[in-house]
Amino acid sequence: MLSSDKAAKWILSAPLLLFYVLMVLFPAGYAVYLSVHDISLGRTTSDFNGLANYWKILRDGNFWHSIGFTLKYTVIVTAAELVLGCLLALLFDRAFPGKRVLLSAVLLPIMVAPSLMGVMYRLLLNEHNGVATYVFSKLGLEINLFDPDVVVPLLIVLDVIQWVPFTFLIMYSGLQSVDKGLAEAAAVDGASYARTMLQIILPVITPIIFIAAFLRGIDAFRTFDVIYVLTNGGPGNVSKTASIFIYEMAFKSGNIGTAAASSVIIALFLLALIPFFIRRLGNA
């Protein structure tokens, strides 16, 4: 390699490396620093207090509740969106009239800001003039966002409406790249459609399904916008995700130190998952 190339590879990477130092490494270190200090919003002094913040947060039932809720929410919406997205991808994996327009319509929700989706859901579901409220009441159903028994299933349905298009898109692209000859050969051999899909197509697109699950899973785990707009994490803390918990701890209660400790705990938990995911994705 030319010596000018050696210089060039550093020069061309420098802006990104500098950005990573400034906006990733420094803040990460700063968060760890904050997590071992007694510091609150609007106060200028901070005292080192060792692991006291960690001790406090690990004994906080609300923290564990938010983690538990977020995990449950993530698993349920990801599973539902994978199954429905897969079925929808199979439906679209053929020619039919109006396919182009319908494909655009199905992809629309991905592009809408989740917070604005929250506003739209509120309009649809509000108790005075919501169209969904009206339709449900005709069916004899009472749907109220502030009913603790209803709110979680409802949020799950709303998440599915927005993000099935995403899992659909990934799996649809995956199906497009599958050799059509495979299914045709199976059909010639007399295999039914269901059997062809289950035994021939499914194994081929399994890596794609895993990737869709991974991407949707990490996004569902960070959910903030739509739930914050719709319920603020309530009623009580029924729908409080980990992101909402940390946000409120830091910016509503002003407990910067404890909130930083919660962030570090979640980061460590995810850090432990990295080797596993990289190995799986590497195989895919």
Partner 1 sequence: MKKRASWGYTAAASVVAFILVLPLLNTLWTSLKTTADINSFPPKFIFTPTREHYENVLYAAGYNFPKFFQNSILLSLFTSLFVVLLALPAAYSAVRLHFGRRKMLMFSMALRLFPPIIFAIPYYLMFQYTGLLDTVTALVLINVFLNIPLGLILMIGFLQELPYEIEESAKIDGCNVYQILWKIVLPLMAPGIATVAILSFIFSWNDYLFAVIVSLNRSTPVTLGATMFITSWGIKWGDISAATILSILPPLVFTFFAQKFLVSGLSMGAVKG
Residues 168-207 close enough to bind partner 1 by CB under 8 A: 169-170, 173-174
Position 118 contacts partner 1 (CB under 8 A): yes
Nearer to partner 1, 199 or 251 (CB): 251
Mark the segment that binds partner 1 (CB under 8 A) among 60-68, 123-131, 178-186, 187-195.
Answer: 123-131
CB atoms within 10 A of CB 212: 25
Q: How far is the CB of 190 from partner 1 (least distance, A)?
A: 20
* Residue 146 interacting with partner 1 (CB under 8 A): no
Dist CA 256 CA 262 (whole Å) = 10
Residues 34, 149: Cα–Cα separation, whole Å: 37
Cα–Cα distance measured from residue 230 to residue 272, given in angstroms and rounded to the nearest whole number: 32
**Closer residue to partner 1, CB minimum distance, 199 or 272:** 272
Nearer to partner 1 by C-beta: 98 or 199? Answer: 98
Cα–Cα distance between 166 and 197 in angstroms, integer? Answer: 21
Which residues, numbered 243-272, are part of the site for partner 1 (CB under 8 A)? Answer: 243, 246-247, 250-251, 256, 259-260, 263-264, 266-267, 270
Nearer to partner 1, 98 or 203 (CB): 98
Write down the least CB distance from residue 189 to partner 1, Å.
22
Cα separation, 273 vs 257, in Å, equals 25
Asked if 102 interacts with partner 1 (CB under 8 A), we say yes
From residue 149, alpha-carbon distances to 106, 144, 161, 237 in Å are: 30, 9, 20, 13
3-class state of residue 43 by DSSP: coil
Among 51, 58, 113, 202, binds partner 1 (CB under 8 A): 113
Q: Shortest gap between Cβ of 176 and partner 1 (angstroms)?
A: 9
Residue closer to partner 1 by CB (options 72, 99) is 99
Gap between the Cα atoms of 64 and 35, Å rounded: 18
Q: Which stretch binds partner 1 (CB under 8 A): 48-56, 102-110, 148-156, 183-191?
A: 102-110
Residue 243 neighbours by CB distance under 10 Å: 20
Q: State phi, psi for 38 to the nearest 5 degrees.
A: -90, 100
* Complex with partner 1: residue 116 or 202, whichever CB lies closer: 116
Nearer to partner 1, 158 or 186 (CB): 158
Q: How far is the CB of 198 from partner 1 (least distance, A)?
A: 20
Contact 85, 264 (CB under 8 A): no
Tell how strand 47-48 and strand 37-38 pair up: antiparallel
Paired tokens of 181: 């000859």
| 161 touches partner 1 by CB under 8 A | yes
Do residues 266 and 241 lie in contact, with contact meaning Cβ atoms separated by under 8 Å? no
Residue closer to partner 1, measured from CB, 172 or 186: 172
Regarding 52 and contact with partner 1 (CB under 8 A), the answer is: no
114 binds partner 1 (CB under 8 A): yes
